[in-house]
Every structure is written in structure tokens, then in C-alpha cells.
Amino acid sequence: MILIGLCLFQDCPSRQEIQGSLKQVQKLLSAHEASYLQSLRNLKKKINLLQSNAGRQASKAINSTCMKLDAPVNGRKLGKSHSIGHEVHFLCDPGYELVGSESRICQENLIWSGQQPTCRDINECASSPCLNGGTCMDEVNQFSCVCAKGWAGATCQNHTHHRAATTGPFVRPSRCTIVQGTTHCTCEPGYTISGRDSNTCTDIDECELFHNGQAGRLCLHACVNTAGGYRCSCPVGYDVTQDGRSCRDIDECATRQNNCTNDQMCINTYGGFQCVRVDCPKIPNATYVKTSPMRCERNPCPVDNKACSQAPNSFSYHYLAVVSNLSAPRVMFRVSALRQMGDTLRFSLLGGRQARRHFTVQRSDRLTGQLMLVSPVQGPATLEAEVEMSELERRVHLGKYITKVTMFVSQYEF
């Protein structure tokens, strides 16, 4: 650098010399300034370049993810990030095996490494697990064996010929499958695995099982166990109803399954039928003629024959069919006068002790009397009752009409 010092008297430079030195310093300074500005410009350029490069890098980072990957059918994908450097893994459901890449990485070029994997059903039959000529059925995650005749078990490993228990319709071989090494045996409907032998299914005795069931009996009458099921049976004279559990009386009179003769009437009863023939009564002093199949009327009486005119004017016959143990009291029959001739109409029960034990007669309105059952009757039984309706005028007898009711009570309560 240039030194400017103090000078003493004769040693000091002349004015000309000083001016020359100052010019030289000025030149040097401007040269320095130029080079300094040049460096600044270069620095600015570099900073600008760096700035634009950094911007490009940042915009590039936003798009730096790989394409979304799907999980394979019957499998799963682990890992959600699809950006550069991240990894996803693939798994298959039980019973399937992975074909392709187990894991893939999102690379710098935004392309996944490896191959998209698939899940393939494992063929459990590949190892021929069914023995003794059994046919293997490959199923998802399991297999089953259809055994050749004489063999049973999950892999047809058991000989059935020596097993008495596996013969007959009430015993069937079970169907077994192996799921992940565990044997599961099932039976046809109506059969169950009994005891320790999972290879054998035995018939379920539904009749025994539900004998005292709270939900009600299986059958209205009787239960018959069958191989793989059961059925209900009904007594003679009844059909099993469509629902399979109830019994319905067969109408022998409507279906001509009766042997009644032409002069008889067929009366259908619960569990059977009756052939009845109405014969007019034979009583002293009066004669009767049949005016309809169920009715007899008195022939006109000779004049002044009091015994004849006191005899019943008519006999009517009625037949009822009822079930055993019918609840009582209940009205069984009504007798009505079409019109009243006299001033009094009386209704009364005729017949012996048997009739009085089960029946009574009540008036239900002015012209009607009713035969009531007063106590349940245990069948099978046939009960008879006679209702007498008499007409009076000032206590003088005008007429008497008898209605004979025959009640056929069945053996069963249905």
C-alpha cells in the first residue's frame, strides 16, 4: 500500500511528486472497485441459479409418489405410504398362497419394484390325503374325502365292514372335513354323532327326545321314529292332517267307507261311524207312522180314546257325535215349538239315572228348551236323553212331543 507520512523541511517531496503519487493511488482504487463489482455480479448470478434450482427441486417433491397399489383378491396389503423409498407388503387369506412379490418398494423413478402379487387357492388335495381309493374334494382352505365303499373317516382311514354299528338305516357314516389340521365331522339331517366315534352318525329318536317337551308334543296321538326323521300316526278312523302332527276324523258316511244298509242312516262319529235305523215306537193305545226319516207322528186317535190322545203326538230322533271329555256345562240341543197353542209350555228330561247324571233341561226362551250336558263324558260311550215338551191350556193337556237325542262319545279327545 501507499504510505503518506509527515516530512521534515528539505526531506519533504515536491508538490509535483505528490500529485503523481495521488494519481497512481486513484488508478489502483478504480481497478479494485471494478474487480469487486465483477465478483458481486458473479455471486448474484450463483445465488439466482441456486434459488431456481431449489424451486425446481421443491415442485418435483410434490409428485414423488408411486401409483396406488391394490390388495390382491383374497389377500391384504400392508403399508399405506406410496412415496419414494417406502415399502408395502402383501399377505393372502388362509387357504391361499402368494404368487409374485411379497413386498414392493417405491423407487426413485416412481415405479414400484417387483411384480403385483396374486393369491392362489392352495390345492389341499395335491398331497392326495384321501386313503383307500377315496376321492379328494378341494375346497377353500380345506378338503373333504368321498370314501370308497367300505371305508369311512376324515381321510377314509377306517374300514367299515367289521363295524356292526355302521350298518342299517339308523346308522350312517359321517362326513368329515379337515380344516387347518382339525377334523370336523357332520351328519345328515336327523342324525347325530353319538359317543366318541366321530365317524358314525346315528339316528336321532325325535319321539324319545321330545317326549316330554315343554313346547308341546310332537304328535297329537303317536310318534313313530324313522331313520333320519319321525312321523306321527293316528288311531284307526283318523287321518294324519296336512301339518303331519294332528289327526282328523275320516267321514265314512261322506266317503262311502261304511256298510250301512239302505234302510239305515249313516252317522259319522269321531273315529268311526254308526248305522242307525229309526223305528217308530210301539206303545199301547196309539200307533205311529214315519213322516220323515227322523220323525214319527201319532195316527189319529179314535173318538173318546183318552189313552191314545194322552200318548205323545210325535217322536223326533237326533244323533250327535262328540269327542271324549267335552267340557261342561254346554248346550247340546235345542227343542222349539213353532207356535204356542195353549197357555203353558213345559220342557222336561225323561230317561233313567244315566241321563240325569250327564244332562239337564232348561228353558232358554218362551218357546225353546235346551238339553245341557252338565258333566264331561269319558268315551267311548253312547248316551241317550229324551226331552219332552208338553202343551197345556188351563192345566188341561193339549199335546206332548218327544225328542230323542243319542250322543256318540269318541274314545279320543280329538
In the bound state with Ca ion, the residue whose beta carbon lies nearer, of 249 and 386, is 249
DSSP state of 390: E
Gap between the Cα atoms of 156 and 199, Å rounded = 10
Whether the link from the prior residue into 380 is cis, omega within 30° of 0, is: yes
Stretch that binds Ca ion, among 89-97, 121-129, 178-186, 228-236 (CB under 5 A): 228-236
Binding segment for Ca ion (CB under 5 A), chosen from 72-80, 98-106, 199-207, 332-340, is: 199-207
Binding mask 337-366 for Ca ion (x = CB under 5 A): ------------------------------
Name the minimum Å distance from CB 318 to Ca ion.
Answer: 18
Q: Does 203 bind Ca ion (CB under 5 A)?
A: yes
CB-based burial label for 269 (10 Å; 0-12, 13-18, 19+): buried
Distance CA 388, CA 391 (A): 10
How close are the terminal C-alpha atoms of the chain, in Å? 140
314 sits in which H/E element: strand 314-322
Closer by beta carbon to Ca ion, 203 or else 386: 203
Q: What minimum distance in Å lies between the beta carbon of 201 and Ca ion?
A: 11
Q: How far apart are CA 43 and CA 107, in angstroms?
A: 36
* Tally: H helices and E strands in the chain: 4, 29
CB of 176 to Ca ion, least distance (A): 22
Nearest CB to Ca ion, comparing residues 230 and 317:
230
Name the minimum Å distance from CB 250 to Ca ion: 5
Q: Is there a contact between 410 and 269 (Cβ–Cβ < 8 Å)?
A: yes
Q: Contact region for Ca ion (CB under 5 A) — 101-109, 121-129, 244-252, 383-391?
A: 244-252
Least separation in angstroms between CB 263 and Ca ion = 21
Per-residue x/- track, 245-284, Ca ion (CB under 5 A): ----x------------------x----------------
Choose the binding region for Ca ion from 9-17, 156-164, 241-249, 397-405 (rule: CB under 5 A).
Answer: 241-249
Q: Is residue 324 a contact residue for Ca ion (CB under 5 A)?
A: no
The phi-psi region of residue 199 (left if phi > 0; otherwise alpha if psi is between -120 and 50; otherwise beta) is alpha
What are the angstrom distances between the C-alpha of 293 and each of 102, 222, 283?
A: 98, 39, 19
Q: Does 225 bind Ca ion (CB under 5 A)?
A: yes
Q: Which positions touch Ca ion (CB under 5 A)?
A: 203, 225, 230, 249, 268
